[in-house]
Structure 1
């Protein structure tokens, strides 16, 4: 075989020429595809990383929406978001002293949401991560919501 202007040129016996040409074509195609494959694999890695970040942001938004709905007393929204998102009723929000939705609802006196969350299995003994380590009952009584405490 001899190199001929960037390709392969066969100089051997005629009966071996087809095999040689197939090998040459394979090598040339593989060499041309390698950079494309590398670029595509890099783009796939970037998309996966971007997708993971997007999923994390989406999950954080769902949890924030649930905590906000519980804090504002929107029972319908809490119920619907719990059903749609799969967020745990005992999700602990690290940005709010370790409050759960039950802490937020109890502290604001939202009796129906407190009942809903307890019926969904929320831990009534869960303590916040603050130095006080308040339970939802403590949050309710400290804010003067005796109906929640009952």
Structure 2
């Protein structure tokens, strides 16, 4: 069994990771940790997008390494996947399809307030379009 845990950089992400580790151990599953550095291409007229994207990617990569270290300390080796793009949900869905993932685990928190309703929930989109089961942690 292959489990993909998709994490953002919120404080809730560690809770999601811990539940994913416990389930992976229980099932004898391989665990992959995925983080997505979100691109904001529509801001290119207002700021140096390349510089901002590089900083966001570096922070996302560092977070992924921290999550991997956390998993290792819990006795679980996990593959790290760091992607960059405009739609985290689409990247998570594509990775799951390409790698034959059996289950995606992710948190319900993320975008808040008005942006959640204007852009749509990442978890909601993944649940609707994923090629496998999705466990949403509350």
Greater strand fraction, Structure 1 or Structure 2: 2
* TM-score tier after normalising by the smaller chain length: under 0.3
Which has the greater radius of gyration? 1
TM-score, normalising length: structure 1: 0.25
TM norm structure 2:
0.26
- Select the structure with the greater relative contact order (CA < 8 A; seq sep ≥ 6): 2
Bigger share in helix = 1
